[in-house]
Structures are given as structure tokens and as C-alpha cells.
Structure 1
């Protein structure tokens, strides 16, 4: 992902790689301050990189002589910290043990992300740390790691939807939105998860990873794809399968839904048009869609997704060369 982030910094933010310092997967851009107007966007403010799991918003470098001194230095700034490390792993663990406890374990779906500030720090060497009390995520190092089910889901795509739903049901989508005009961070979410009796559309559903998640939550699912779902889902009375091109069916033909989901492979421009057709129809309030990247990214198009009210674009831990767009009301 680091190469993609570097490319975004170059193309979207006009920051040359030669201006950046790399610490493992952490990229530091000295002199780049997040102040209103510092980055040109369609909003007239500034934004954060989409490829970034978390951003150190106010970074600083500090030296320390001992593990205890490093822990005291961080605790004097704020309560909660988590680390990203590319070196000095044992030393970082000993520092973390002296800090306020935070949950670094894998999480079980469904769960929520506490909306509490968490700083991030990285050891550059034995006596130097790079840190920021203010970050763009409520998650340790920005990563949401889930317990995996290796038996029941028909594909690993289920993890993407589980993560997206956790973010949609958590205040701020698990991200710290400050100051208020940062573009690229979620609107205040906190909507209830899809549940028993809700009607959900699953576009591009085969082999059924997302439909499986929705059925586990008790939803009624309409799945549309040119290929069938896994046999267990095809025989499920709560799953209606339509062998069809989803783009040739209008919202009016399909009816209203509590949630609309899409993991379909298509160009972002086509997905954006399809999303607007649903939002304009008034037949859905909540949507989660995967934006699949093909070739060089058109950042103006990605920004169009982010500009939709009550929406955000983010790169999930379980995304590959793709982003996830989340819209809730």
C-alpha cells in the first residue's frame, strides 16, 4: 500500500517522493501542514490521503533515555496511545506496557469502535520517537482486525462488509474528525446495523460473501449477479437471486431497500452514476459500495464520491486495490 500512498501524495497533493521520509510503511512529509487552504480540493479546504490508514496530524520527534521516560513523555501529553513499529519491536512493547491499556486484540463482528482519542507513536531508533497525539483514527494505528471464519462464508469478501458495517455503526466511522473541515474523514455515523426483517440489495453478489453477512444478521436479501451464489445461499428462502446485469435494472423496478450494497467490478464512473440513480430515487437511505480501481486513479472522480452528503470514502483494512464508499442517513 505504501507505493499507492506515495503515488497519491505525488499526483493528488503534489508532494514529491524526494520530499518524504520513509519509516517502514510510515511516510513523513516535513513542512506539509494541515491548515485550511493548504491543499486544493473541490471543497476549498483540504483533505487527507485516501490510502492512509491513519494520519499523524500534528507530528513531533522526541528523544528519551529510557523506556520509563518514553512512557512518561507520552502520558504527560494524553491518556491513550498505540504504536506502529518497523523497528525496535521489543522496546516498543515495553513502552506500551507502561501506557494506559488499549484493546489490541482481534475483534469479533459485530462490535463498535469507541469514539475516544488515541495517539500514535513510532520508534525511529532506540532513543527517538516520532508521534502525534492527534490522529485521523480512533483505532490503534488505524487498523481494524477481525476474527476470521474459515468455514462458513463462501468468500473472504465477507470481511470487507463486516468492517464497513462496523465503521458505519460506530460514531465517526472509527475516525476522529477534527478540525471540522477536513475532507476525507467520515461524517458522524452511528446507524444501527442491518437487522431482522430489513430488506437489502446485494449487487454483484456472487459467490455470496456479503449476502452471507446479511443473512447472519437476519436480513432479507435480493442478490443480483450474472453468476449464481453458493448453494447454501441459493437454497435460502430469505435470499432472492436475480441472474441479471444490475446496471440494466432501475431502482423503481427493484423497489425500496433499507440498505443497498455493491461489490461489483466496474469503472468508478459507472458506479457513481448508479449510486446517484439510487439516491435520486429516494428508495434507499443507507449504501455501502466498493470502488474498484483500474489503472491510474482519477482522483477527481473519487472526490465526487466523497462530496456526496453524508458520505465518506476510505481504504479499509480488508480492501485491496479499492476504496469503500459509505453513505448513511
Structure 2
């Protein structure tokens, strides 16, 4: 019998309500896994989307592992209940290496399926998922020297997922740059960086070749000043509407073609601005593993997302 089409969306920890609220046709919520009817929908908050979930009746732990192996090799378990039984099934599946990435090495290419137990005898499994990372969570071998804060991990994750990053010599604007985590990433890639903030960046960032610091408001750099950039970045804490107005000016000017900006929220009072960002050209939203109550807005001319 043909199964009714559904899609499953794994929400980040603490953001199940946000993920469920943006989806149509929600049928059930299992822990962080939101089930909605129909084909995949665009989801800003989902960490990983299970694109082709199907249910499998199983008679035993061994039978469950065999049913998954018969579909494909690589699986990662999401467990919201029946944790011991789920673990025993996963242990009978081939080991999946989930070692941290050494940025900027390429992301894994092998497909990684996701599965969970909806009941002791019922598996929900999707061989195809939107992310090649376990549960959509990207981990890195962290840099212990160099970056002045952990915000650099956001940018590493963005570049790993969109498979595009500034090339050596590209002109970048880092608006609201202090203490300099994003500036450090861009400089390490060989880009030329104009870092703008009311607060001085860390001393070691000021000394980096190719970095120019300008004291002032994050949004003080405008295209009518004859400025032109290959990339604009912004990770500043501000009202989302203010960020929207500023990036709209830049997009309309045609003087920058690539944008990566963090849209930060306080409570749920600004969620309506998501649709306004989504209306901008070449737009996508990601909820990064290293995001908190925020989304990363990306606008590129040509892009692919993982």
C-alpha cells in the first residue's frame, strides 16, 4: 500500500515551536521532530529536513537494523523515546564517521539517512535528508589561537554549507565587526576586510595585514559613498528591521552581490520580518548549529545549500 507523503523537520534544541509554527499541515511532533503532510516546505528553523520519510514495521532489533541496511548503508539515529532499543538498532548498523571538519576542507559527500522509533515496532526513516551532517549539526576542529571569540564558527559553518566563500583579494565589509571573529575568518581566506564598529576590535585583529578598521556605526557604510564590495557580512545585535533597511539599500545599489547577515530576535516580536527578508533576491535562511535565537540570512547570485 502506498504511504501518504509526509516530510519530517528536525528542529534545533529549544526551537521546536518556531519550526512548527512556520510549517503548514503539521500532523505530529515527536521530541524535536515535526511531521507535516505533503512535500518538503521551505523551513527557516529546521536543522535538518527528512525529505522522503517512510514507516517500516519491525519485529525485533535485528529486523529493524536489517530493514534500514536494505535501504542504504549510512544512517544516524534520532531518539526521543525508547532510547535503549534505538541504540541497540543503531549499534547493528555500519559505523558512520562523524569526525569534526578541519575548515576549509570539503564537506562529506556520502548521503546520510535519518531514522527514529515512533513505537517499539515502528521505524520512521528517510534515506534522503537536506543535510549531509548528523542531525544537521556541523562540528569543527576549533582554532585555539587567532580568533578573539567563538563567533568565527558561524562563518565557518556558513561557508561549509553554502560551498562558497570569499576568494583571495575579494573586498569584504564586516559591519559591526568587534571583537573581530568574522574579520579573522575573512582575513585568513586572503580577503581584504573593512571592519566597522563603534568598539575597537581585539588588538591582534587590528594588526592583521589586509584589515582596515573604521570606528563608527555598523550601518554607516553606504553605497552612495562610492563603496563597492564583493561580500558584506554583519553579525551585529540590532533590530531586524534596521538590518533589513540597510541591506536593501545595498542590494538596490548593485554594489555588492553577496551577503551573509545574522538576524537576531528577542522573543517572538520580530518574526514577521522573516518574510520581508525572504522577498529579497537570491535569499535563503539557515539556522546554524552555532546560532542561538537567530537566523542567518544569505543572498548569493549562485549558491547551493547543505
Q: Normalising to structure 2: TM-score of the pair?
A: 0.83
Over aligned residues, Cα RMSD in angstroms? Answer: 2.6
For the pair 1:64 / 2:36, whether they are aligned, the reply is: no
For the pair 1:211 / 2:183, whether they are aligned, the reply is: yes
Paired with 1:90 and 1:150, the residues of 2 have a C-alpha distance of 36
Deviations 1:99-141, CA, capped at 9 Å, x for gaps: 4554311111113334554321023565442322333323222
Paired with 1:34 and 1:256, the residues of 2 have a C-alpha distance of 43
User: Pairwise mapping of residues 1-329 of structure 1 onto structure 2 (< 5 A)?
Assistant: 1-10=12-21, 12-13=22-23, 20-23=28-31, 25-27=32-34, 29=35, 32-35=36-39, 47-87=41-81, 92=86, 95-96=89-90, 98-99=92-93, 102-114=96-108, 117-124=111-118, 127-169=121-163, 191=164, 193-253=165-225, 255-329=227-301
Query: 3-state DSSP class of the match of 1:264?
Result: coil
Q: How far apart are 1:75 and its partner, in Å?
A: 2.7
Paired with 2:181 and 2:86, the residues of 1 have a C-alpha distance of 37
Query: 3-state DSSP class of the match of 2:123?
Result: strand
Paired with 1:119 and 1:303, the residues of 2 have a C-alpha distance of 30
Structure 1 gaps of 5+ residues are 36-45, 170-190
Consecutive aligned runs of 4 or more in structure 1 exceeding 6 Å deviation: none
Deviations 1:218-249, CA, capped at 9 Å, x for gaps: 22110000000000111223210010113233
**Cα–Cα, structure 1 residues 76 and 325, in superposed 2: closer, same or farther, change >3 Å?**
same
Deviations 1:182-239, CA, capped at 9 Å, x for gaps: xxxxxxxxx3x22322211101100000011111112211000000000011122321
Query: 3-state DSSP class of the match of 2:153?
Result: helix
Paired with 2:267 and 2:226, the residues of 1 have a C-alpha distance of 32
- Aligned equivalent of 1:180: none
**Cα–Cα, structure 1 residues 197 and 49, in superposed 2: closer, same or farther, change >3 Å?**
closer
CA contact (8 A) 1:48 1:55 kept: no
**Cα–Cα, structure 1 residues 110 and 277, in superposed 2: closer, same or farther, change >3 Å?**
same
Paired with 2:145 and 2:85, the residues of 1 have a C-alpha distance of 37
Query: 3-state DSSP class of the match of 2:48?
Result: coil
Q: How far apart are 1:94 and its partner, in Å?
A: 5.2
CA contact (8 A) 2:197 2:218 kept: yes
Deviations 1:132-178, CA, capped at 9 Å, x for gaps: 23333232221111122233210010000110111121xxxxxxxxx
**Cα–Cα, structure 1 residues 99 and 317, in superposed 2: closer, same or farther, change >3 Å?**
same
Paired with 1:131 and 1:51, the residues of 2 have a C-alpha distance of 21
**Cα–Cα, structure 1 residues 115 and 302, in superposed 2: closer, same or farther, change >3 Å?**
farther
Q: Normalising to structure 1: TM-score of the pair?
A: 0.78
CA contact (8 A) 1:4 1:51 kept: yes
CA contact (8 A) 2:101 2:107 kept: no
* The structure with more helix, counted as a fraction of residues: 1
- Larger mean CA deviation between 64-73 and 214-223 belongs to 64-73
Paired with 1:115 and 1:8, the residues of 2 have a C-alpha distance of 27
